[in-house]
Each structure stands twice: as C-alpha cells, then as structure tokens.
Structure 1
Amino acid sequence: MAADAEPVLPWEEDMNEMEAADLMDWMDVVVLIDPLGFGDSVLLEVERDASPDIVSTEVDDGGEVIPMTGEANMASPDTLRDFITFTARNYPADRFALVLWGHGGGWYGLCQDGLLALQLPDLAYALGAATEEMGRKLDIVIADSCAEGVLETMYELREAADWYVGSEMTVPAQGLRYDLVLDSLSRDRNVSPADWGAHICEIHRVTLYFDSWSATMATFDLGALDGFAGSLEALSSSMEGYASIYRGALMGVLLQTAASDLVEWYLDMGDALKKLASSSLPLEVRYMAFETLLAYDALVYDFELYANPFEDDFDTVSNYTGAAVYAPGDDAMDELYGALSFSGVGWGDATSLIRSDEPTTVNQLGPDVTYNDTDGDGELDEAVLHWDLDCDRYVAWVFSQTDEGVQFVGSFESDLPSLAIGGVAGDLTVSASAWTQGSAVSHHGVNIQLTRTVDVCVRVISRDGPVGDGLNVRIWTAHGPVGLSHTGDMFCGWILVPDEAAFGDLLTVEVIGTDGEVLAWNRTYVQGTEIMLEICLVKDVDDPVGTQFLIPAAALVVCAIAAAFYVRDEMRRRGDKP
C-alpha cells in the first residue's frame, strides 16, 4: 500500500475492511504499508477483527523488505520484488494474488512514493525477477489505482501473471471494498482467478453505484494479450502508412473516441476500434480494426460499467469497453513512451504521426485496370492493375460484398507497377495502393468483376457407407437449382461465380429420392476454388420418412448458441448480468 504521497489516501480504512472480512484459515493476507512520513513503513499479516483499531500482526522481515531506516521506497522495483519473494517464501500457497495500491498515472507509473512513481519497465523487472525466483507466475494482479486498466500496464505484466484487474478511469480515494473482496474469496475456495477478478469488478461497480460515482473495471486474460498485440501491430502499421494521405480522417477517429478522465489522450481501445472499423478509411484499415476488435474481445474476460446519468461525462463513460490506451504525440514528455515494451507494437508510432503537424500529401492517381482470360474458357478470370507511378511496392486488398457484409477475399502485392489479381471471382472491391518508403502515396477503391468456376463434390453416406443409386443431388443458388452428376461415390459438378452464385453466398444442397422427395439437406458457403460436402442419410433410401429435419435441427442449435453468445456479450459490455 503506497500511501506516502499527496493527496493522502485512506489506508487505515482499507486495513480495517481487510480485518473485518471473513478470513479463512487457508487465506494469508500480507500487506506492506508505507504511510505518509519517514521511517514508518510496516509489514502486517492481517488478523480478523471487528474493532475500529488496526490489530494485525507486525511481521519481522529481518530487513529483507523494509530497510533498517524503516522507510520502504514503494517506487523502487527492488521493494516490490523483495516483498513478493519474501511473502511467497514465508507464506506458501497454491495461488498468489498481488494488489498494487496507491496513486496511479496510467503509463507514467503507479505506487507513487513522494514525487516518484514505480515506472512500468521497473514493474516488469520486479515481477519478472520475483516470479523467476518463485518458479511460477502470479495468478492475478489487481491494480487498486487510478487509470491502470491500460494496455501499457498489462503488457508489462504478461510474462509474470495470468490475469489482471484494473480500471481505465480514475478511482475514488476509498478504492476497493476489501471486506467484500475477501469475503467473495472466502465463500468459494475453488473460485478461479478469472472469476474472482469478475467478482471484484462487480463489487467495484455496485459499491460506486451506491456512492453515485461512475465506475468501470475489467478482468483481462493476459494469455490473450500477445494475440491482440499482433493484430494491433498490423493495424498500427497500416494507420501509420496511411497517415500521409488520410491524416485528417485518422485524427477525426482519435478525437471522436471516448477518452479516459485521467488525461486527454487516454483513449478507450474498444471504442477506437469500433470507430476505425466503421470509418471511411481504406477497407483494409477497417478490416484490420474489426479483426483487432475480435482479439480485444478475447482479452477482456469481464467488464463492469456504471455511468452516472447525472454526471457530465455520462456519454463518454457509456462508451467505455474495458481498457484504455495512450495515444502519444510529439511533445517531450511523450518521448518517454518509447521506453515501454508496448511501444514495440507500433500504436504510439502511428498516433504520433497522426497527431503531428506534418501536412497531408496529395493522393496520387490510381491504377488502370485490364482483364485477361488465362485458361482460354472465354471467361475473364484475371485483372491487372497498372499504376503510372514509380514506387517501392504496390498492394491490392480484395473484398466481396455478401449478404452478411463486406468479406475479405485476399491480398496481392508486387514491387512492379503492374499487379495481377487472380484465383478469386465475383463482383469485387479492390483497395489499391502504391507505397514509397513505408508511406502510401496513392490509394483508390477499384471495382472489378472476375468469373470463375467453383467445383462442387458431395458425398452421400448412410450407416453402410456411401450411397448413390436412386438418388439425385442438386444445389440451390439464387438463380435456381444446379444438378450434380453421379460419379463413383460422389456427386460432382460446378457453379459459375458470380453468374450463378457470389462469393460468400450460402447455398442449399439437397438429396432427392426417386419420388422427388427431399431426403436430407445441408448448407455451405461459396469460398475458395472447390466445395466438398458430406450429407448423412440416417434411414434407408427407400424409407418413406426421410431425414430432412436432422441437419436443420443441428443448424438451429448452432444458431441458438451463437445468438446466446451474442446476447451474453452485449449484456457483459453494458455491465448487466446475464
């Protein structure tokens, strides 16, 4: 508990809450406290007590944690390392939770001591050294501090802990209700660290609701952080490259994103990704933002939110999604951002360039388009883009418009000004760009149409193996049925894209008996160059009942599960309980 800083934090109240908790004999709670002043640091083992006095037992650490001066420097990584290793060695346990208590400043640091704070690289060092000596990770780290639910902090923790709890906005001085937090653990010894973190988030939201404070707190799966960071890195690189010609649009997204109440440029990550995905930026930027949003959803295990409708920031808080990220500019203080591990993801490089005063460059002319019939079947199956520009590389991201929305088809790249697009088909939208020294100098959307046959093979099987005699198989497209020919143990044929079906279309495949009755059916999407499908007949071919309801019932179950996950996710995002 880093309490040796102004404004004063009520550490005595939190200690009394811990002592008031229903502590079990299998729980050890050890607290390092550094109150305001010099020479008064103390290490306590919490004892259960209902009085207003602090009665917990003082622990003699032999100078291992608190030096002989009696003053622990809470901004020092050595203090945190020594506290963790001493506690783990003297209080062995199956699970370890670390609470970082005190003033927080996002990526600037936390656990303020006087005018100093524990910097994030030092936090990473302390936890790395401690967990190496322990021979294991911490199960969960909880930040009871302002605005530490930020990606920069959790990125430093990812190698040393499995789960993390923090708030992306400022936290009232009273912080967490430790009696309720510890009671939620004592009631269920087998609760997982993730679910205990979710309980803590709920306690925080409910407590501040009754105190009329807006509140956010989330539990993060640090095991999902590298996957998210990889997606964000690709998105950041694209944003940085397009800043030269789309600086205004990118800056508009940053300015519209819900910001933390700590400082202006702490932006809610989920809200930023949503706005990028729905912007007018190049299609690949929007696609990458959507993919990153999916990875972000995997990172945020639980999110609790209460936006006080009587506060001025109601609309902003309502758009929070769990984690914030800083968007550094080009001022002197932001130069320190480069010392963070998270800076390697490239987000800061992108936002620094977007926020800079460099002028937007003119978007150069886009490519001309020609078509080829590469296989001599009379169908145009290749488009060639040609730029009249001298650049380092030329890129085409290809998308198809489907009933479910725009779908990514593939990407093509060349170091020559002529770029061939083939192996795909349909009415396609191409995001075409030319690049020099890592920056886009030209970007344009180009509509093309390519035609291609997609081979279709269907195997009909029963309990006795593949069947075919006496059956017909047909595919229903938007333009009507297409019959398949029986060859060996397969029914084969082809459809023409986009004349008979479009990329991403959902097709129905039916098995027809001799009397024209549908015996079974399945569905498949138009993707790739071929469709391979199996349809099961549970009953004999000449059975009058058929099995046409078997597969649809399974499909309905899948749809119901998908809908349930969607509803649960929406409720979780709002802070409701399913």
Structure 2
Amino acid sequence: MSAIVRLPVLFASVMAISLLSMAFPAAPAASDVNDDDSSWTFLVYMSGDVAGSPLKWQDDINELESGCLSQEIDVFCLVDPEGEGDSRIFSISHDSLGSEEIVSEEIEDAAFLQDTGEANMGDPQTLIDFAELIISSRYSDGRFGIIFWGHGEGLYGVSLDRDDYLDLAEMRYALIAIGDMLGKKIDLLVFDACRMGTLEASSQLTDTADYAVSSEIAVASYGFPYDSIFVRLSLNPSMDTVDVARAFADEHVKYGALMTGISSHAAVIDLDRLREAVTRVLDFSNCSKNFVPIAASQLIEARNGSVEVDGFNTVDLNSYLGCLTSSEELPKRLLDSANAVLNGLNDAIAVNRAYINVSDSASGLTLSGVSVFFPYQTVPGESYENASTFSKSWTLFLRELYLENEYENLDLNISLSLSDGRFGDGLNDTVTINWDSNDSVGTIDVDLFREHDGALVGDCSEKMGLGEFSIDWLQPDIYDIHVYCRDINESYRYYASFGSISIFRQFEYRINLTSIFAQGDIDIILFNLDSRRIESVSVFGNDVTIALSVPDHYRLGERVLVQVLIDGEIVASGLIVVGDAIETEVSMTIGRSMSSPLEYSCTILLTALIIYSFIKLMKVGEETGLSIRGMRNRKLLRSISSLSRNRAFRKAGRRS
C-alpha cells in the first residue's frame, strides 16, 4: 500500500478513536474520584407493626446482607416488627453465604429504645432520633439516603404503625431536621411503600432532598429487590446520585416484569426541578378555579378521560393535562397554564419506569411519574384539605368545580374591527374591540400573540365602560387576539378569540443609480438573509424605489441584501434592515464586493466539476501507466482551467 493511501487511513483511524472516546468517556481514575461521592450511608425506616397486614422484614434484611458488597456502603435498619417491645436497629453486614439467618449486628446504644423497646414509627421524633444516633456516631461524610419501608398512602402519609403514621407535615418536619444535622440536603429518598408518587407527597420534599424514588401505584408486599439494587451500587458506588436512584427504579420494575408479572412502577424525581413544577401546578389550580364559569365542561371531561390510578380517586397528572390540552375551544390562558405544568413535570421527572401487565394494560393504565387527587364529582373533605399546603390550594379548585354554582350565561357579542387610525396611509394599523355592555362583567383583557412564533407581544385591560376600546400601537405582523371578560371576583365569564389578524405596513427604500454606469439591462436582486427568499426586480431609469410589504413577504428586522446587476455583472450592493425607517435611501457600495446567491451555486458546481475531472485524469493515468506529468495532451487541462474563467459561462449560469 502506498504512503498516499496509508496517510488517510491513519487519519481516519485517529478520528474514529477520538469520536469513540467522546461518546464513551472513560471511567475516572481512582485519584479523580471524590471520597465523599464514593461512600454512601443509608437509613432504612422499616415500619412493620401493622395488625393484619404484616410485611416480611426479615427477607429484606437478608437481601441487604446479600447485596452490600462494598465497604463504601453503610446501611442501618430501624425495624419495628408486629408486636410489642421488639423494635431494634441493625448495622448491615455482608452475608457471603446467602443464608436465611440475619448475620448483621444489632446496635444496643439507642437511647430512644431503651425504656420500652418499642418505637412508634408514626412519630417524627423516632425518625429524628434514629438519624441522630447514626449521624453522631457512625457517619463522617459521603452521601446520605433514607428508605421508607412499609405501608404508605401518598395523599396523607407513610410508615403506618398501628393507629399512627407519619403524616406529610410530620415527614417533612423530620427530613428538614435531619438535613440540619447533616448540614446539607439529603441526597436520596426512596419510598418502598404504596402510592407515594403523588404530587401531594412529593411537593413536601422539594427542599429536603435532591432526588426521590416513588411509585404511583401499589408496591407488592415483597417490596424492592434490595440484593440486586445494592449489588449494582456496590459495583460503582461513585456513580451520580440520579443513577443510584435509577438503579432502585430499574431493579424494582424489572423484578415485577420478570419474576412476578405484577404491574410495577417507579419514578425518579428531581426535587429541585419539581419545586418549579409545583409552583406551576398551583398557578394552574388557581387559573382553573377562575375559569370554572366558562370551562367547567372541559375540566370535567378531561378528568373523566384521565387514567385513574389504583381506583383511589387519584389520576395520573400528565394524563389529565394531556386530555385537557386537547379540548376544543379551551381558553388560551388556561391552555398555556396547563402546558406550562406539562413542561415542568417533564423536566422534573428524571426517570420513569413502568411495567403494566396484560390485565392492567387492557384497562388503559399508563403512568407518567406523578399522580394527583381528583375524585369524580366529589368535594374533598377536611382530612385531605389539611394534609399539605398543596392540598389546600388544590381543594379550592375542586370545590369550585364541583359545587355547581349557578353562573349567568353571558353573551357580550364581542367583535373586532380594523382601521387606519395611526398613519393615514390606507393600511390597517389599529384594532378596535367592541362589546355589549353588561353589569356582570368588570374588566376586559386582551392578549396579542404573534402568529408565526406564538410570542406574547402585548396585553392590556380595560374597565367595562362605553363598550369599546382601541389598540393603536400594533407593529405590522399577523396576530392571534384573545379577549377575556372577568367579573369583580376575578372569575372569567366570557372568552372570544380571533385568529390571523393582519396589520400591514409598507416600507419604501430608494436606490439612486446616477453614479452607476447604467448601460445595458439593469436588474436588482433582493436576497433575504434570514428567510433565504430571493426576489428579482427589473428597473428602468436611475432613481429606483423598492417597496417591502410587512407581513405578507417580509418581517420586521429581517436583513435584505440588495445587489444591482448590469448585464449579469454585480456593480453595486447594499443592505436593508426591514422596518428601520418608513422611507429612506439605501447606501450602496460601488464595485463587485459580493457574489449573488446564484453565482455562489454556480461556482461551487464548477469547482466540483474541476476536482472530479482531475481525479478522473489521475485514475486514467494509473490505469494506462501514464502520469499527469508525462501526458502529452496538456490542452485538455488548459481547457478545464479556462472554463472557470469563462465569463460567458458564468453569465449563463446566473440566469439559468
């Protein structure tokens, strides 16, 4: 193989290796791994003292003993089995034999257990005391996680213990206290408990931890497969927290799919991003409440079309919002609020894993990561309303939706008219909104959106008065206009929308050709540098006016390259920014300063032809044993070279 061939191959090999190294970055060297990131401490809060519904805590202790292979991982379990005086704490040790016996050591110095030996897992102080014991004596640094193991009900709380449980406020209180002890937020919260993937529960966690793993549906009694989860973590304890959380979700759903056939779900929630999503949901609930008088039917129909989760009066939130945003004639403000929530939830749900078995799939079950309480035509009670700060706001919306308040059906006969009210040039530049006056309506709101990009470009409000007002500050463009009528209680009572309203302006630009030698055919090429639109104008005389119409062909701010051609040759060029003046003279540069778009294309094509011909000649030379240097017929090469300089060819190429 010749050196000429080997060099490209070597270059290609180096480039391939470089690309692969970027796609699959190498694992960090041992010296690059932060010790704090490679060690983990987990607290497992095992509440099993539930009469008539015991959970097999011993099996999960055995799974932890089997899976904890790394010395970088410490796991401590506070176990409260069914019965009295038998609560205990285990420091998990690896069991290489995989026996059914618990080999882990019990911790004896737990002061909060010494009096009675019985832990009330529904008391937030129990969780705080457990964490304080471990943090003060057995934790130095590294990442910190808490696993809630047992029964849960995400609308109200977790860790059921006989007649008590950690309600959402108590859970939040304990987690904040633990964060204060750590001097940072908890890295990971895992809920091995039923239906904790509600917005009611998750909204209480946003300032307590970085990530949470939870399920919208019931978790089977065997719980999470801790052996496979902790083996995966032990093999790479320094992986990112979100990937540790992903391991919990992956292994839980995989076990349900492969081993039991029971529908399983787990989502990893980025709690920092969820904070913004919760804010948007609260805004949406307030917006929906105010739109009930005119949008109740769409709000209820969306609820009826949503995916119900486990039949517990909760719906998958993404499912509900998806149904709502597909509703016909939904007021745009409500539509935008719902879409903002969808976008916020998509950002907050880092991982969503679900296995839906045949039976549940037939019933239409789909899970997106977070559910919310949304009963069917039932007003929530005080227990739900007082469960969390989020529940209070959501209850106001549901109460307004289901109390069946009587609202007068208003028809304000809103209409829209266009006129030349500003410039007196015969072009519409003013929008006037007209309506029939009604004492039930206090304020008219108008939102204006640019049609081509959906941007909100203006909004205004007017107290109800004479029955009309005008908007005369519109820039030339195409608009969608939305009109809302609100009563004195801020409830929306009427809505109308008007699409594709065109506001025109014409901008004139003068080109003086006096200084340009103008014998021959004169053409002006307008090349829109933003839209890539090309327009050709034939002119006569030395004083030319170009009229650009907005918005039918041009947009404000677009840049237009103006080129003057005489007999196909560029003799002057200039630049227009559409809308910078109503009427102005274009500054032209004399001489061949830039090529036309068609000439660019012709030049590229010609260059490619020359290269192709040259390669072809080399190939012919190799096949016949001749070299380019030794070829007698040099006229062919000279003719190819002269082809690129042939003025007549260039001229024909531009006009084709």
SS at match of 2:152: coil
Structure 1 residues 286-295 or 374-383, which shifts more?
374-383
Deviations 1:447-497 (A, max 9, x none): 46241459999xxxxxxxxxxxxx97622899964689xxxxxxxx99544
How many percent of aligned residue pairs carry the same amino acid?
24
Q: Which residue of 1 aligns with 2:74?
A: 28
Q: Determine the structure 2 residue equivalent to 1:380.
A: 428
2:61 aligns with one of 15, 28, 32: 15
| Deviation, structure 1 residue 425 | 4.8
Partner Cα separation in structure 2 for residue 512 and residue 199 of structure 1: 62
Pair 1:364–1:164, CA change in 2 (3 A) = same
| 2:253 corresponds to 1:205 | yes
State the TM-score, normalizing by the size of structure 2: 0.69
- 1:445 and 2:493 equivalent? no
- Kindly indicate whether the alpha-carbon contact (under 8 Å) linking 1:85 and 1:134 is maintained by their aligned counterparts in 2: no
Query: How much has 1:7 moved relative to structure 2?
Result: 1.3
* 2:613 corresponding residue in structure 1: none
Distance 1:206 1:21, change over 3 A: same
Q: Who is 2:617 aligned against?
A: none
Say whether 1:246 aligns with 2:299: no
Structure 1 residue 474 corresponds to structure 2 residue 527? yes
Match of 2:180 in 1: 132
State the alpha-carbon separation in 2 of the partners of residues 259 and 120 from structure 1.
22
The corresponding residue for 2:648 is none
Corresponding residue of 1:362: 409
Offset at residue 94 of structure 1 (A): 1.1
2:108 to 56, 60, 67: 60
Partner of 1:4: 49
CA distance in 2, matches of 1:186, 1:529: 68
Partner Cα distance (1:507, 1:199) in 2: 50
* In the alignment, structure 1 residue 257 sits paired with structure 2 residue 306: yes
Structure 1 counterpart of 2:490, which letter?
G
1:80 Cα deviation after fit: 1.4
Amino acid at match of 1:141: L
In structure 2, give the amino acid aligned to 1:398: L
| Partner Cα distance (1:456, 1:86) in 2 | 80
- Measured in 2, the distance between the counterparts of 1:241 and 1:426 equals 31
Equivalent residue runs for 1:204-353 within 5 Å: 204-210=252-258, 211-264=260-313, 266-280=314-328, 281-308=330-357, 310-318=358-366, 320-327=367-374, 331=379, 333-334=381-382, 336-343=384-391, 346-353=393-400
Q: The residue matched to 1:195 in structure 2 has which SS? A: helix
Q: Which residue of 1 aligns with 2:444?
A: 394
In structure 1, the partner of 2:171 is 123
CA contact (8 A) 1:426 1:451 kept: yes
Q: Equivalent of 1:41, from 79, 87, 91?
A: 87
For residue 205 of structure 1, what is the amino acid of its counterpart? V
372-381 or 111-120: bigger deviation: 372-381
Question: 1:69-84 counterparts in 2 under 5 A?
Answer: 69-84=116-131
Q: Work out the CA distance in 2 between the residues paired with 1:297 and 1:236.
A: 18
8 Å CA contact 1:454–1:497 kept in 2: the answer is: yes
Aligned to 1:533: none
Cα distance per residue 1:163-184 (max 9 Å; x no partner): 1110111111111000111111
CA distance in 1, matches of 2:277, 2:579: 26
Listed as ranges, the matches of 1:450-461 within 5 Å are: 450-453=502-505
Structure 1 residue 99: deviation in Å?
0.5
Whole-Å Cα distance in 2 between the matches of residues 94 and 179 of structure 1?
22
The structural deviation recorded for 1:498 is 3.4
Matches of 2:242 and 2:469 in 1, distance apart? 49
Over residues 151-170 of structure 1, what are the superposed CA-to-partner deviations in whole Å (9 max), with x where a residue is unaligned? 11111111110111101111
| Matched-pair contact (CA < 8 Å) for 1:12–1:54 | yes
Letter in 2 for 1:432: V
| Corresponding residue number in structure 2 for 1:434 | 485
- How many Å apart are 1:359 and its aligned residue? 4.1
- Stretch moving more, 157-166 or 355-364: 355-364
**Equivalence for 1:571:** none
Amino acid of the structure 2 residue aligned with 1:30: F
* Paired residue type of 1:349: L
* Secondary structure at the counterpart of residue 156 of structure 1: coil
Task: After TM superposition, give the deviation of residue 339 of structure 1 in Å.
Answer: 4.3
Matched, 1:162 2:213: no
Q: Secondary structure of 1:217's match?
A: strand
SS in 2 for 1:96: strand
Alpha-carbon distance, 1:357 to partner: 3.3
Could you tell me whether the CA contact under 8 Å between 1:279 and 1:286 is conserved in 2?
Answer: no
CA gap of 1:420–1:335, structure 2 versus 1, over 3 A, is: farther
Q: Distance in 2 between matches of 1:451 and 1:413?
A: 21
Residue 336 of structure 1, CA deviation: 3.5
Offset of 1:92 from its aligned partner?
A: 2.4
**By how many angstroms is 1:383 displaced?**
1.4
Q: Is the 8 A contact 1:39 1:71 kept in 2?
A: yes
Q: SS in structure 1 opposite 2:47?
A: coil
Q: 1:62 to 1:100 in 2, by over 3 A?
A: closer
**Whole-angstrom distance in 2 between the partners of 1:456 and 1:297:** 47
1:93 is aligned to 2:141: yes
**Matched residue count:** 504
Q: State the TM-score, normalized to the length of structure 1.
A: 0.78
Answer yes or no: is the 8 Å Cα contact 2:263–2:360 preserved in 1: no
Q: Secondary structure at the match of 1:20?
A: helix
Question: CA 1:94/1:394 → structure 2, altered by over 3 Å: closer, same or farther?
Answer: same
Q: What is the SS of the residue equivalent to 1:43?
A: strand
Counterpart of 1:411?
459
Alpha-carbon distance change, 508 to 15 in structure 1, aligned in 2, over 3 angstroms: farther
CA contact (8 A) 1:111 1:118 kept: yes
| Separation in 2, partners of 1:290, 1:169 | 25
Q: Which whole-Å CA distance do the structure 1 matches of 2:491 and 2:580 have between them?
A: 32
- SS of the aligned residue for 1:371 comes to strand
Distance 1:93 1:359 in 2: 61
Aligned pairs (5 A) from 1:514-553: 541=594
Give me the whole-angstrom Cα distance separating, in 2, the residues matched to 1:109 and 1:392: 43
1:499 to 541, 552, 569: 552
Q: CA deviation at 1:189?
A: 1.8
CA distance in 1, matches of 2:140, 2:91: 14
Which whole-Å deviations, capped at 9, do the CAs of 1:378-413 have from their partners, x for residues lacking one? 3222312233133332222334554x8x66554333
Q: Which has the larger radius of gyration?
A: 2
Contact 1:246 / 1:360 at 8 angstroms: preserved in 2? no
Contact persistence 1:155–1:225 (CA under 8 A)? yes
